């Protein structure tokens, strides 16, 4: 063992937690050496047992709370301690908002080296429960019947559940009914070890505004026992079902969806709204899971874009066109780009659905398509990016700096990569004016941000 590490495995020590990790564990330090302890909250004093020691950090188990945070609450979910879906139910919502704000401030300063940026208070939810419009539930078996829930933390053991407090109630109702119907008709759960069985996942989508329900049965093979009877019974039992889909995934993989999708009943899509924009949502569409907060996030992006009707806008990583269509309401022209062909097909359909003719979509990587547009003479007044967790591609950042749009609006699901990319854009001639965090996923450590950048003159 490296002698510079100040603790040993199985030590019992007293610590004070200073912070939270990105997955909600308490952070304590012993002579500068960080220990990560699940269930610890900032400001709390506790007795912990050291359970693992690495060179740069270690892990502990909370044994006894000696001094409790005023923000600690009893988690309302009965399976919270076993389930890996949420990390912060033991922290009051006020405490969660404070923790997320501090996290954004810390990474913008530490990674982005930006100390004078205006970071606004987090925009939270009035009701931070029951917000998710999509459930994806792995299916297993127990005593002859089907079970479905979430995986236990860091395992592939399924914790059966009848309700999830961050899901729309309708999704709970649908999952429970479909489990019972499939059990009744002899459907076997997929066994990932033996690569046998029928049903891998039940996925449901719920249109918050329209009340429409989509049910997706993800199966290992194209055959599903008693398929016709199952579909009839789902339609008879569950109100609002507009679409029953079978997705076939024959591969040995952790990826949920396979390549083949067929409609068993109803339509290929359901519809929902974010603000005034209507969206067609297919089984494989990427659609934000918290539409109420998505509206807050996109309205902030629209405000930061400051459109007057004469601007050309480029939306990198445009997905199914959610931000593009918001921007098209106020811009002269919007160009959207996305690497997933199905998402672009959805984006084009959504533009037609909303009769927006001033928006064009292209398939490809933003880092290759946008330089091509630039060479073809497309000059963006405003460029919007909403990249995946890994942040913007280096080549895309170089293109932004070459193209020099007056404004960049950066929508981010990862404050750390946002901070890194803001530093690159600052060094290339932009000023970060302000950052607005938005709480899209209450009860978890995730926080989204919108940043406004302007070209320095």
Could you tell me if residue 226 is left (phi over 0), alpha (psi between -120 and 50 degrees) or otherwise beta?
Answer: left
Question: DSSP readout, 323-349?
Answer: HHHHHHTT-SEEEEEES-HHHHHHHHH
Q: Which residues contact 457 (CB under 8 A, 6 or more apart)?
A: none
Catalytic residue among 86, 392, 413, 449: 413
Q: How buried is 435 (Cβ within 10 angstroms: 0-12 exposed, 13-18 middle, 19+ buried)?
A: buried
Residue 115's DSSP bridge partners are none
Question: DSSP readout, 141-178?
Answer: EETTEEEEEEEBTTS--EEE-S--TTB-HHHHHHHHHH
Tallying the residues shown for the chain, one arrives at: 457
CB 271 within 8 A of CB 278: yes
Q: Which residues contact 345 (CB under 8 A, 6 or more apart)?
A: none
In the residue annotation, 413 being an active-site residue is answered as yes
Give the integer Cα–Cα distance in Å for 280 and 323: 15
The kind and range of the H/E element at 214 are strand 213-219
Give the integer Cα–Cα distance in Å for 450 and 292: 16
Give the integer Cα–Cα distance in Å for 215 and 263: 10
Give the integer Cα–Cα distance in Å for 26 and 12: 16
Catalytic residues, by residue number, are 413
């Amino acid at each position: 063992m490296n002698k510079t590490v100040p603790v040993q495995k199985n030590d019992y020590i007293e610590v004070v937690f200073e912070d939270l990790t990105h997955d909600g564990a308490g952070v304590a330090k012993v002579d500068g050496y960080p220990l990560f302890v699940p269930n610890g909250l900032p400001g709390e004093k506790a007795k912990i047992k050291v359970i693992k020691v690495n060179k740069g950090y270690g892990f502990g188990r909370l044994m006894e709370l000696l001094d409790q945070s005023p923000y600690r609450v009893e988690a309302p979910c009965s399976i919270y301690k076993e389930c890996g879906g949420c990390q912060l139910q033991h922290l009051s919502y006020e405490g969660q908002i404070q923790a997320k704000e501090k996290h954004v401030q810390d990474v913008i300063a530490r990674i982005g080296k930006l100390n004078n940026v205006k970071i606004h208070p987090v925009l939270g939810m009035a009701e931070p429960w029951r917000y998710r419009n999509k459930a994806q539930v792995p299916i297993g078996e127990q005593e002859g019947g089907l079970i479905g829930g979430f995986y236990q933390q860091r395992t592939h053991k399924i914790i059966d559940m009848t309700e999830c407090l961050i899901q729309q109630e309708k999704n709970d109702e649908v999952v429970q009914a479909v489990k019972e119907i499939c059990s009744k008709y002899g459907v076997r759960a997929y066994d990932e070890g033996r690569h046998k069985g029928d049903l891998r996942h039940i996925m449901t989508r719920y249109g918050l505004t329209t009340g429409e329900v989509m049910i997706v049965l993800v199966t290992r093979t194209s055959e599903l026992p008693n398929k016709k009877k199952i579909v009839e019974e789902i339609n008879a039992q569950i109100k609002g079902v507009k679409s029953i889909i079978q997705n076939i995934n024959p591969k040995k993989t952790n990826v949920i969806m396979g390549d083949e999708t067929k409609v068993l009943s109803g339509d290929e899509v359901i519809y929902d709204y974010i603000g005034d924009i209507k969206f067609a949502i297919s089984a494989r569409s990427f659609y934000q899971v918290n539409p109420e907060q998505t509206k807050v996030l996109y309205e902030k992006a629209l405000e930061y874009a400051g459109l007057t009707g004469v601007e050309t806008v480029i939306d990198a990583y445009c997905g199914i066109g959610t931000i593009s269509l918001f921007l098209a309401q106020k811009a002269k022209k919007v160009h959207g780009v996305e690497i997933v062909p199905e998402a672009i097909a959805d984006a084009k359909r959504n533009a037609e659905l909303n009769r927006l003719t001033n928006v064009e979509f292209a398939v490809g990587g933003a880092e290759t398509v946008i330089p091509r547009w630039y060479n073809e003479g497309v000059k963006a007044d405003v460029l919007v990016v909403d990249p995946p967790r890994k942040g913007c591609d280096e080549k895309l950042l170089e293109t932004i700096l070459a193209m020099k749009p007056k404004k960049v609006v950066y929508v981010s699901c990862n404050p750390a990569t946002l901070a890194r990319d803001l530093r690159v854009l600052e060094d290339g001639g932009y000023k970060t004016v302000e950052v607005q965090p938005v709480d899209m996923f209450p009860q978890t450590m995730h926080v989204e941000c919108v940043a406004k950048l302007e070209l320095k003159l």
